[in-house]
Structure 1
Amino acid sequence: MPSPALPPLAVVGSINVDLTAAVPRLPAAGETVLGGTLTRQPGGKGANQAIAAARLGAPVRMIGAVGDDGDGQWMLQNLRDAGVGAGDVWLGDAATGTALITVDPGGENQIAVCQGANADVSLDGVAFADDEAVLAQLEIPMDVVARLASAVPGFLAVNAAPAVRLPAALVERVDLFIVNETEYELLPELAQARRVAVTYGSAGAALREHGVEVLRVPAPRVHAISAVGAGDAFCAALTLALCAGWGAEDALRAACAVGADAVTHLGAQSPLRPLQSYAP
C-alpha cells in the first residue's frame, strides 16, 4: 500500500476568476445558444492545481499574480481558505485574470482565457527547497516556466497546457510533463521528454518515456457534470503520488480516480478526499 506521506509542493501558475455558462449544448462558430445559467467561481490552472493538491493532503504554496482589485483579494482568500500558502502571490498592475467558460450537460467545455495579472508572474525573490516538488502550467509567461529548469533543485512537473512550443532545455530538464491527447499531438518535442503522462478523458491515461508508451490505465466510470477542473486535479494527484514514491501504475490509476471524482462536481475546484483514499 502506498505511503500516505506527501511532499511539499510549490505551484507556479495562473489564478483566474471563472465565468461559466452552463448551456444546453456548446455553440458552433458564429452561433448563439440560449438557455444558459451563469456562475462566477475561483479558477485558473495554477490555483486549481494548488487547491487540489492541498485537498489531497499535501503542504502547498502558490506562486502567481492577481490584480490589486476586489477579485484579487477574493482569489487570495480562496487560496488561504483551502490551506494554500499565498505569500508568494504578487499584486500585479493589470486586472485579475478571467476565464470565459461554456459547459454542456455532458461536461464538455470551451474556454477562453484573458490573462490579465497572470502576465506579471515572477520568480524574483522565490527560492525552492531540495525536497519541494514544483508544478507549473503554461497560462503564465513561458520565460518564467523556462527559468524553473535552473531554479528548481528537486522534482519538476509541467502541465504543458495550453500547448505552446517548449524550449529544448525545459524538455530536457522536466521530470514529468502532463498533457491531454490533443496537446501531445501539438507538441512533437515531447517525444524527447523523459516521462510524459497523456490523458484521454473518460478513456483513462497513458505514461510515455522518451516517446514510447510504457503504461496505460482506464478511468473509473462516473456520471460527469463538468470536466473543467478534472485535468488540474489529475495533475496534482499524479505529481504528488510519484513524488511520494508510489509506483507508476498505482500513481496513474489514483490520478485517474481523482480526475473522475472531479468531473462529478461543478466548478474547477472540487472537494477532493485525501490522496491515499484513491489508491488502487
Structure 2
Amino acid sequence: MQQDIQVTIVGSSNVDITALMARLPGPGETVLADSYQLSPGGKGANQALAAQLAGAATEFIGAVGNDSHSAIALGQLEDAGVKLDRVARTEQPTGVAIIQVDSAAENSIAVISGANSTVTAQAVQAAGAIEGILVLQGEIPASGIKAAMDGATQRIVLNLAPVIELDREYLLKANPLVVNEHEAALILQQLDGSETMSTEAEPVIAQKLMAHGLASLVITLGANGCLVAEQGSGIQQLPAVKVKAVDTTGAGDAFTGAVAARLANGDDLVQAAEFAGKFAALTVQAHGAQASYPRSLQNL
C-alpha cells in the first residue's frame, strides 16, 4: 500500500549531459573533455530523489517528453520508490542540462527546459491535490509555482533557483526560502525593488530578507556551511562537513530535498539543515547528481 505522501515536489526533470575536463572553457574557447556521461537530473527530480532517500515518502509532479530521454530522467526516481503517477508526457522533448565540470569540482550549466516549460498553472491545477510539504524551484514557469503554492496544505520549501520573477506575496509564502548566497542577493534585489544587487555580507543579506517578512530562510554557503534564520530566533551559522569534493553538481538539490524530508519527519529547521549538510557532503564526493546521492543513511 502506498504510504501517505510526506513531501511533494512540483518541478523540473532533465537528462544531464556532463563533460569532465581539466578546466572550464572561457568565452569563445574550445577545451577537450576527458569523458562525458548521460544521467538523470533537473532540480525538481533531484530534490525528489533526495527527499525520498532522506526518509520521506515523496511524490514528484512534473513533465517529460515522449522520447528516449524520459526513461533516463525518471529511472532513479522510480527505482527509489518516488511516486510518479502525475508526471505528464508532452510533445515537448524531455529537458536537458549541459554540464561542464573541471578538476576542482567547479561547474557551469546550461539548461534547455523542454517539457518543463509545460508545468504551468493549468497543468498544476489539473494534477490535483498536493499532499505534505511542498517543494518548488525556479526551473518551471512562475505560473506553475504560484498555482502549486495556492494548492499547498502544509509548509512550503522554496528553492528559487534559478532566480525568476515571483510576486512578493508568493516569495513570502516560503518557509523556508532555501538559496545560495548569489540567489539570496538577487531575491533581496527583487524585494527591495532595486536596480543594483547587494554586495553585502551574507548575514546582512539574511537580516534584510527576514525584515521583508520571510518566516524562515536558509542560505547555503558551500564549503562555509549555511546560515539559518527564523522569525524570533535570529541567525545561526552552521559549519560545513569537511570533505574532498570531486563534483558539486546537484549538491544544493540534495540539501533542499533533505531539509524537506527532515522537516516532514518532525525536525526543526536547524536540525533539518544540519542533517541536510551531512547528506549533501556525501554527494560531492562522487560524480553526477542523482547517482551521487547516498542510498543508505548509516553514515549520517
TM norm structure 2: 0.85
Q: Distance in 2 between matches of 1:219 and 1:109?
A: 20
Q: Residues 41-100 of structure 1, C-alpha deviation per residue, up to 9 Å, x if partnerless?
A: 111011111111111221111100000111113323332112111101000111100000
2:293 is aligned to 271
- Inter-CA distance 223–95: structure 2 relative to 1 (3 Å threshold): same
**Over the residues paired in the alignment, what is the CA RMSD in angstroms?**
2.0
Q: Alpha carbons of 1:27 and 1:199: their partners in 2 closer, same or farther (altered >3 Å)?
A: same
Which residue in the other structure is 2:157 paired with? 157
User: Stretches of 4+ moved more than 6 A in 1?
Assistant: none
Residue 98 (1) aligns with residue 100 (2): no
The answer to whether the 8 A contact 2:60-2:83 is kept is yes
Q: Which moved more, 1:269-278 or 1:52-61?
A: 269-278
Equivalent residues, number: 271
SS at 1:187 equivalent: helix
TM-score of the superposed pair, with normalisation by structure 1 = 0.91
Pair 214,7 (structure 1): closer, same or farther in 2 beyond 3 Å: farther
Question: 1:260: which partner in 2?
Answer: 281
| Structure that is richer in strand per residue | 1
Residue 64 (structure 2) pairs with residue 66 (structure 1): yes
SS in 2 for 1:224: coil
> Equivalent residues in 2 for 1:156-195 (5 A)?
156-188=156-188, 189=191, 190-191=209-210, 192=212, 193-195=214-216
CA distance in 2, matches of 1:213, 1:265: 35
Q: What amino acid sits opposite 1:88 in the alignment?
A: R
Provide structure 2 residue ranges, at least 5 long, that are not aligned to the other structure: 192-208
Contact 1:134-1:156 at 8 Å conserved across structures: yes
Deviation, 1:238, is 1.2
- The answer to whether the 8 A contact 2:107-2:249 is kept is yes
Q: Please name the residue that 2:270 is paired with.
A: 249
State the shift of 1:17 in Å.
0.4
Counterpart for residue 126 of structure 1: 128
> What does residue 115 of structure 1 align with?
113
Alpha-carbon deviation of 1:239? 1.7
Using the TM superposition, give the Cα deviation of residue 272 of structure 1 relative to its aligned residue in structure 2, in angstroms. 1.3
Q: What letter matches 1:237 in structure 2?
A: A
In structure 1, distance between residues paired with 2:268 and 2:53: 21
Report the Cα distance in structure 1 between the residues aligned to 2:296 and 2:260, rounded to whole angstroms. 14
